[in-house]
């Protein structure tokens, strides 16, 4: 697999791992609220996309880009800290989480078109 394609696929795989974790945090924080239900529903869609992406990676060949997945993991952990600081009720942590998800989805759709 070309390095460019490998980087592209693994960037999106790392992003999907980050999205799943972020959606899980939102789901846990807003369990019985509409936002929690939305997060759980969106997580199902992201997981399906993630499974499809993994199948593509498995067919075209894997790259040695574990660094991108590690960066995604680290970013998600930092975001969790920011969401915890949101307990004052200001809502900026939740807003940041939703904005991050929106940007990631918009970026993925831009490349998929």
Mean pLDDT of the chain: 76
> How many CB atoms within 10 Å of residue 68?
19
pLDDT per residue as tens digits for the range 47-82: 999 999 888 888 776 665 566 566 666 666 666 666
Name which of 11, 13, 47 is nearest 27 in CA terms: 47
Share of the chain above pLDDT 70, in %: 63
Query: Which pLDDT does position 85 carry in this prediction?
Result: 47
């Amino acid at each position: 697999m070309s390095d460019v394609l490998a980087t592209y696929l693994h960037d999106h795989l790392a992003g999907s791992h980050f999205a799943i974790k972020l959606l899980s945090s939102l789901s846990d924080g807003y369990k019985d609220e509409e936002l929690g239900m939305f997060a759980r529903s969106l997580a199902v869609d992201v997981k399906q996309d993630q499974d499809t992406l993994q199948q593509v990676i498995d067919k075209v060949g894997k790259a040695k880009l574990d660094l991108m997945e590690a960066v995604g993991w680290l970013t998600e952990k930092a975001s969790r800290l920011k969401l915890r600081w949101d307990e004052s009720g200001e809502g900026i942590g939740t807003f940041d989480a939703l904005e991050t998800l929106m940007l990631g989805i918009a970026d993925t759709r831009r490349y998929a078109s």
